[in-house]
A and B are shown apart, each in its own frame.
Chain A
Amino acid sequence: MNEIKLDTDLAIRMRGVTKIFGDDPQSALELLRAGKTKTEVQAETNHVVGLDNVSLDIARGQIFVVMGLSGSGKSTLIRHVNRLIEPTAGEIIVDGTDVLKMSLEELRAYRRNSVAMVFQKFGLLPHRSVIDNVAYGLEVRGVPRAERLEKAAKWIDTVGLSGYEQSRPRQLSGGQQQRVGLARALALDTDIILMDEAFSALDPLIRSGMQDQLIELQKTLGKTILFITHDFDEALKIADRIAVLKDGAVQQEGKPEDIVLKPANEHIEEFVREVNKARAIHVRTIMERGEFEACEFTVPETARCEDVLPYFAEHQWVGVTNEQGTQIGRVTAKRVIGALARYTPGVNEG
């Protein structure tokens, strides 16, 4: 029973997905399974290990962020979900259906109706106007012209590009082009959205606005979003869960706080070092639970340290409330500073 329930809650399930680029992936796969590293396999066989035995469970309605350095296999991973890349080995189940067993016709229907993708390199159609680009997915799906243009216009407005409907992609800046790509994917209104560095070309202001919209979208419509980024701060802001990739293998997977506070290895520690910890640490993990006298200022338990810092200019402590708004504890400046110091390497060590 438990197993079945788990399955229906999962949007995307990857099991042992391995991808080796090259002419003879099977022999390279054997080397990899025999325990050789990506570098060794590459040196010996000239085959590139894109993904190495990746298993992920992405629950429905989550924002799942994949992080990793350049070349770590993030784009390769996301392309497996809609089978733009065929894995060398492994299993990919989306909404209970085995993606790798789909016929070409089923695969097309799946791509048209169930997954939309935003590309790192935008992939806009240069010969079409912005609005026709945004309406492209709907056009492929067979939506009548008037309806799809209406939807496209709405999304162009949402991403802040009204007035550019008739422009060609090349007439737009990089950030504007990226927003066209975003609108094109969002217009499809699919349950699963794949975003490959979808905000990388945006300026900080628009970027922050887009992050808020994404969270909103996930909250209100329950979308499952697989999001790739280089930016740990971005990941901390939007992620329900984070997986860190290195050389195609998952190094650690977990809640954002777990990654920041308990990095599994040196590689992740290095990654985490520069991160804004006040954003990563939630109030609920460091609060003192219990009855305290009511405080003038309160924050919800889902707030982050950075949200309470301003209050400490005037107050010794701040109340913490649960979803119903009742106070369940408090957090003091000392605790916050203690937490930040504890997880900053070199400070207060040992």
Chain B
Amino acid sequence: MFPEIIDTRPWRRAIDDSLNWVVRNWGDEFEAAAYPLLMLLNFIEDVLIATPWWLIMAILVGIAWLATRRWQLPVIVLVSLLFLGIMELWEDAMTTMALMIAATITAIIFSIPLGVWMSRSARVRQVVTPLLDLMQTMPSFVYLIPTVMIFGPGKIPALIATIVYAAPPLVRLTDLGLRSVDPAVMEASRAFGTTPSQRLFGVQIPLSLPTILAGVNQTTMMALAMVVIASMIGAGGLGYQVLQGIGRLEVSRGLFAGLGIVVLAIVFDRITQSFGKQLQAKIGLAETR
């Protein structure tokens, strides 16, 4: 046994008490602060559910076509979506998609500026990197419980948990992408008298867009990986079906809903990756890598 050096019980009590205090005194404020997130999620979900299934299929197949200009990916997307429809998973899939899209949008809004900031300051990077490690490795239940305590069970903690888990790769890849822009190109731009923001928007971001897009791809994948956990605290959708399947020992229900998640993952993964490749070819990095 490791000898007890100091009594840690007061620390734990302090943490628990302060959380309780926050919940009691600031619960409403937190909820109000997170309200825009809820609005965003509900809006996306409403739109996806209200849109006829064939239109959504047409849009996604069309995007797949735009991303590759070949027939293979659109066919894969079409088959995947038909599978969701035939298995009676369409509505749940839309709910899950809404959660993923809302999480991805929010992650983009926060992560890209943070990534930009990190890329410009070694000190910021020193502080943020361990935080990102923490966000990715800390078991999600650890922060899920306090968020549920603060916001109550429902979609907000589910969305927040998803964002916390899914945002780090985007921050990292934005930072990496911006820093790995060819220094010779940056220097040339500087020599012509550009301002820092002209260099950021005119050179750095366009040249690192493929890397940033790889980050968005990672974020969508990790958001989908969170849906089962998110459904435990009130996000419906495919995750909830999986959960129910497990709970009632209905293997088939869990299996099909699980496959539904896989199918969604395939669709979004392939589409974002193809856009990344297309961009890379356009910028002219494809051949040098």
Binding site for B on A (CB under 8 A): 82, 84, 107-113, 115-117, 119, 121-127, 136-137, 140-141, 168-171, 188
Q: Which stretch (B18-26, B51-59, B172-180, B186-194) binds chain A?
A: B186-194
B198 at the interface (CB under 8 A from A): yes
Contact B193 A170 (CB under 8 A): no
Contact A84 B187 (CB under 8 A): yes
| Contact among B184, B192, B284 for A140, CB-based, below 8 A | B192
| Contact among B187, B194, B284 for A123, CB-based, below 8 A | B187
Q: Which residues of A contact B190 (CB under 8 A)?
A: 84, 111
Question: Considering the chains assembled together, what is the distance between the CA atoms of A125 and B187 in angstroms?
Answer: 11
Q: Sorted from nearest, which 8 A-B pairs have the closest CB atoms? A: A123-B188, A112-B193, A111-B193, A170-B284, A121-B184, A108-B193, A126-B284, A127-B283
16 contacts between A and B (CB under 8 A): A84-B190, A110-B193, A111-B192, A115-B191, A117-B191, A121-B184, A123-B187, A124-B188, A125-B188, A125-B203, A126-B283, A127-B282, A127-B283, A168-B284, A170-B288, A188-B192
Interface residues in B182-231 by Cβ distance below 8 A to A read 182, 184-185, 187-195, 198, 203, 206-207
Interface residues in B242-289 by Cβ distance below 8 A to A read 282-285, 287-288
Q: Which residues of B contact A112 (CB under 8 A)?
A: 192-193
Count how many chain B residues have C-beta atoms less than 8 Å from C-beta atoms of the other chain: 22
Q: Which residues of A contact B203 (CB under 8 A)?
A: 125
A169 and B284 in contact (CB under 8 A), knowing A136-B192, A140-B193, A140-B198?
A: yes
A82 and B287 in contact (CB under 8 A), knowing A123-B185, A125-B203, A140-B198?
A: no
How near does chain A come to B199, taking the closest CB pair, in angstroms?
Answer: 10
Contact B207 A126 (CB under 8 A): yes
| Contact among B192, B198, B285 for A126, CB-based, below 8 A | B285
Q: Which residues of B contact A84 (CB under 8 A)?
A: 187, 190-191
Q: Which residues of A contact B193 (CB under 8 A)?
A: 107-113, 137, 140-141
How near does chain A come to B258, taking the closest CB pair, in angstroms?
Answer: 41
Give 20 A-B pairs besides A82-B191, A110-B193, A125-B203 with Cβ atoms closer than 8 angstroms.
Answer: A84-B187, A84-B190, A107-B193, A109-B193, A111-B193, A117-B191, A123-B187, A123-B191, A125-B185, A125-B188, A125-B189, A126-B185, A126-B284, A127-B206, A127-B282, A136-B189, A137-B192, A140-B194, A169-B284, A171-B284
Q: Which residues of A contact B182 (CB under 8 A)?
A: 126
Q: Which residues of B contact A140 (CB under 8 A)?
A: 192-194, 198
Question: Considering the chains assembled together, what is the distance between the CA atoms of A107 and B192 in angstroms?
Answer: 10
Q: Which residues of A contact B184 (CB under 8 A)?
A: 119, 121-123
Q: Which residues of B contact A122 (CB under 8 A)?
A: 184, 188
Q: Which residues of A contact B206 (CB under 8 A)?
A: 127
Q: Which residues of A contact B282 (CB under 8 A)?
A: 127
Question: Considering the chains assembled together, what is the distance between the CA atoms of A115 and B188 in angstroms?
Answer: 12
Question: Considering the chains assembled together, what is the distance between the CA atoms of A107 and B195 in angstroms?
Answer: 10
Q: Which residues of B contact A168 (CB under 8 A)?
A: 284
Question: Considering the chains assembled together, what is the distance between the CA atoms of A116 and B191 in angstroms?
Answer: 8
Q: Which residues of A contact B191 (CB under 8 A)?
A: 82, 84, 111, 115, 117, 119, 123
